[in-house]
Structure 1
Amino acid sequence: MLSDKKQELVSIASKHLNTIGINHTIDVCGTITIQTKQGKVIYYPTKNKIQYKGTVTPGGIDNVKNLVESLGLSGEAIPQKIKDGMTCMTLRDYFAAQAMGSLVKQFDTHVITGDPVHHKLVATAAYRMADAMMKARENNND
């Protein structure tokens, strides 16, 4: 659990990124990850450090913004407020959640509420559908 001061730093950085339209995720340690077209940028707001391709450099949120914009945004993460301002949903997760609704309709209620094997089958099918959507998306960006 982050201290109040560290949580505040993470929250400020996240709000700033949201304001300028940079999608990101935040893990339980307060590390912010941004997926770019050329790889992940990791920002440690409590230490004012940025990591890209294994190299850690000092820098604040403005440096993160400049680096991310120079690398090209990928749009791989869709911020979803889960709890305490944390964002945890990737585009793949979003696609799987959307597919899940139509997949569940294909099963009887007793199948969904009963055997955990069926739950796993539906979840697996949802992620297979999400993977297909991600692949189609890649092919359409050529």
Structure 2
Amino acid sequence: MSTGEVGDPLHDAFLAHLEKVAGIVGIVDPWRVVDTRNTGVSPDAGAPYIDFEIISGGEKQASWGAPRQNHQLETGQITINFNMPLSEHQKAAGRYAWLLLEALRTDHSTFEAAGRTVTLFEPIRMGGGDKKGGLWTESMAIDYELYHVG
């Protein structure tokens, strides 16, 4: 859930995009998207939630020309986690992960961050889940590309 505070533009833009797409594909209560990075909020471990992490793969110069007019290509991966109490909500998590994966693969594969288009591609389910701190977590990942000018 977005707090309205300004943080990392890519993180904030993907949070808004994920919340929007989750609503479009029909992810409903008690599931919710929780921002666990830009806030001090600790999610309720008794309720299922979705969070994410953006892992930058770095930048490389993609064009050469006038100073401060060159494109820098940032690439990386976004890991989306479906967290739930043990022995609960696994079927919903699997269904929601599939719906989200399909949506991000097709109609919702781009979004804007700080005036730049971020392109999402190659979404993938990451195994069958894992126990993390008393929760069951199923994850998916999606690559991204973002061109900066500098």
TM class by shorter-chain length? under 0.3
Of Structure 1 and Structure 2, the greater strand share is in 2
Of structures 1 and 2, the larger Rg is shown by: 1
Higher relative contact order (CA 8 A, sep 6+): 2
Q: TM-score, normalised by structure 2?
A: 0.27
Of Structure 1 and Structure 2, the greater helix share is in 1
